[in-house]
């Protein structure tokens, strides 16, 4: 599958990865992929993939990534907890949580949360792809849906948790500003996939990432402004839209 749209939003989900993109002027399309490699094979001709996963990892040291710190500050106490602590690279290669936790504590002085462990496999997938594929590393850019929702709402973080009814309505209202048929589209996507494959918040997260990247990299800004690179040359930064 090769597509003509240049901008994609991607979020991890229970069945792998969900992508969102504008197929034509009036149609949004959502697709599921079991692995990040399969997704990249489908979208290797695009210009920008906004993805909700850490890119650029510390090998050791107790300092959090500056982008994580900046994201939590931007989201204030309201939504700062949605930015999980990023693991050190070595912990991603452990087979069990207990071992990964020990490795992370040894390398950073901090244990690994269960929430972070639950997405470690996906972090590892993306890390391997970008370390071994120079073309992919030019296309994938780390972002965070809560940053995007806040940035597109005059820098105001969402008030409600994303999985409850009020949170879904709140986020859909932001998307509706950019897509007038958003409610209808959401209902169609819900019918397209089972709840076991894809949850409503996954749909909205991928969608807002796609909207945020829809005007290209020139309309993004990064947290922090002077971002770091890790030992593999991957940037440790989070992109947010610089438009409304």
pTM: 0.95
CB contact set of 98 (below 8 Å; sequence gap of 6+) = none
- Mean pLDDT score, 32-60: 97
Report the chain's mean pLDDT, rounded to a whole number: 95
- Mean pLDDT score, 65-75: 97
- Mean pLDDT score, 89-105: 97
Per cent of the chain over pLDDT 90 is 93
Query: How far apart are alpha carbons 121 and 94 in whole angstroms?
Result: 10
In whole angstroms, what separates CA 75 from the centre of its chain?
15
Decide if pLDDT at 160 tops 60: yes
Decide if pLDDT at 131 tops 90: yes
What confidence category does residue 34 fall into, taking pLDDT thresholds of 50, 70 and 90?
Answer: very high
Q: How many Cβ atoms sit within 10 Å of the Cβ of residue 162? A: 21
What confidence category does residue 209 fall into, taking pLDDT thresholds of 50, 70 and 90?
Answer: very high
Query: How far apart are alpha carbons 15 and 74 in whole angstroms?
Result: 30
Residue 149, both tokens = 């929702």
Cα–Cα distance list, 154 to 147, 148, 150, 158, 202 (Å): 11, 10, 7, 11, 23
Query: How far apart are alpha carbons 170 and 167 in whole angstroms?
Result: 5
Place of tokens 């931007």: 74
Residue 105, both tokens = 């504590």
pLDDT given for residue 23 in this prediction: 81
């Amino acid at each position: 599958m090769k597509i003509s749209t240049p901008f994609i939003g991607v979020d991890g989900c229970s069945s792998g990865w969900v992508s969102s993109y504008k197929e034509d002027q009036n149609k949004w399309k959502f697709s599921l992929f079991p692995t990040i490699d399969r997704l990249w094979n489908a979208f290797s001709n695009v210009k920008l993939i906004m993805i909700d996963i850490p890119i650029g990892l510390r090998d050791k040291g107790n300092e959090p990534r500056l982008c994580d710190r900046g994201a939590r500050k931007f989201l204030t106490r309201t939504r700062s907890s949605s930015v999980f602590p990023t693991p050190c690279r070595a912990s991603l290669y452990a087979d069990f949580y207990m071992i990964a936790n020990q490795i992370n504590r040894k390398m950073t002085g901090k244990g690994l949360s269960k929430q972070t462990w639950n997405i470690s496999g996906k972090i590892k997938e993306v890390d391997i792809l970008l370390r071994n594929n120079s073309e992919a590393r030019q296309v994938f850019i780390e972002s965070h849906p809560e940053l995007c929702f806040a940035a597109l709402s005059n820098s105001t973080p969402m008030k409600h948790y994303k999985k409850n009814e009020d949170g879904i309505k709140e986020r859909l209202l932001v998307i509706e500003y950019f897509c007038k048929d958003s409610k209808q589209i959401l209902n169609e996507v819900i019918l397209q996939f089972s709840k076991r494959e894809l949850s409503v918040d996954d749909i909205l997260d991928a969608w807002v990432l796609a909207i945020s990247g829809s005007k290209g990299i020139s309309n993004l800004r990064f947290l922090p402004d002077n971002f770091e690179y890790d030992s593999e040359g991957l940037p440790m930064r989070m992109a947010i839209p610089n438009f409304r």
